Amino acid sequence: MPRRTIARISMRGARYALLSVIVYIITTGCTARPTDAHWLIQQVYDRVGGRAALLERGDVRYEYTYRRDACVIADASDGCKNWKTVDSADAPADVSVEQYIFNGELSRGRYIQRAYLLADRAGDLIQGYDGERTWLTLDGVSIGERAALKRADFLRKTNYYWFAMLHKLRDPGTVYTYEGTRKVNGIEYALVRLDFNAGIGDVQDTYVLYINPDSRLIDQFTFTIRDYNVQTPRLMQVQYENVDGIPLPVRRRFIASDSSGAVRGDSWTEEIMAEIQFRNGFSRTLFTAP
């Protein structure tokens, strides 16, 4: 999983983002071109409604499935092009009920099925991030083990980032570089590299986004996982669904790749978001450590 780049959503942050957009438009005037990284990012950001679209909805709840070896390339005659997956309910997976409050980027996950995460321990596992610190409980008892808390912190912030990634593209401290174009499956994608200034997030990963010229969405991207010192890039492919008027990355899969996005792994890991519901009215106390 890639490390997140957390810049908390707040009303003040939303005003800052809006001001930055206005300044950018004024200073660039009519000179923006499809080879301008900022222009391309703004196209995607506007397409999903920006961070204001999340702030307006307040919070979200959804069911998240994480499954390794969803498609083993050596065993797939179609090369996994058709997103072949393991459909059996008994297939190994981690399944969590995810809950977020967008103002402050609070995150909570209650695991209803665990094949990978602390799989050797039975019980009701809950992770939370209250905007300042991450906590973890098993059957209501706090877990303070360093490795377990590090993983919980990684998942709370990474899961949130995957959900809100397109709405966070103009967060302060994000650096954009135009990387040309590349044709994939007959589509000529504009490539934009994302880097982050020091101090933005716990680590500063690098992304290369493939922007679809028709949908103005990111169909795939490569990313690094510096928090766990993984040197091989990963390629993430994305499918979207409109939920309450917002395109959301409801189905994702990733695999080891090279920096150009060519697959170098032998199996995909799949991530699915389902039963997405906004405007739940969550209390912030839900995200506070017990």
CATH of 11-287, one of 2.50.20.10, 3.30.470.30, 3.40.50.12780, 1.10.3720.10: 2.50.20.10
- The closest alpha carbon to 66, from 166, 161, 155, 167, belongs to 155
Give the burial string for 141-174 (b: 16+ CB within 10 Å, else e). Answer: eebeeeebbebbbbbbbbbbbbbbbbbbbbbeeb
What is d(CA 174, CA 163) in angstroms, rounded to the nearest whole number? 18
Higher model confidence: residue 266 or residue 211?
211
Per residue in 119-168, pLDDT (tens digit) is: 999 999 999 999 999 999 999 999 999 999 999 999 999 999 999 999 99
HSE toward the beta carbon, residue 105, CA cutoff 13 A: 29
φ/ψ of residue 131, rounded to 5: 100, -15
pLDDT-based confidence at residue 87 (cuts at 50, 70, 90): low
Q: What is the DSSP letter of 118?
A: T
* Contact assessment for residue 152 and residue 134, using Cβ atoms and an 8 Å cutoff: yes
Residue 113 has pLDDT above 60, yes or no: yes
Per residue in 188-217, pLDDT (tens digit) is: 999 999 998 876 666 667 899 999 999 999
pLDDT-based confidence at residue 4 (cuts at 50, 70, 90): low
The average pLDDT across 69-82 equals 74
Per residue in 167-179, pLDDT (tens digit) is: 999 999 999 999 9
Q: Coil, strand or helix: which one is 16? A: helix
Q: Would you state the pLDDT for residue 197?
A: 84
φ/ψ of residue 273, rounded to 5: -110, 130
Per residue in 26-46, pLDDT (tens digit) is: 444 444 467 799 999 999 999
Which pTM was predicted?
A: 0.85
* Contact assessment for residue 171 and residue 178, using Cβ atoms and an 8 Å cutoff: no
The average pLDDT across 275-289 equals 97
* Contact assessment for residue 9 and residue 51, using Cβ atoms and an 8 Å cutoff: yes
Q: What is the DSSP letter of 48?
A: T
Cα-Cα-Cα-Cα dihedral of 150, 151, 156, 162, to 10°?
Answer: 120
* Contact assessment for residue 50 and residue 170, using Cβ atoms and an 8 Å cutoff: yes
What is d(CA 156, CA 159) in angstroms, rounded to the nearest whole number? 6
What are the structural domain ranges in the chain?
A: 11-287
Q: Determine what percent of the chain is predicted with pLDDT higher than 90.
A: 70
pLDDT-based confidence at residue 16 (cuts at 50, 70, 90): very low
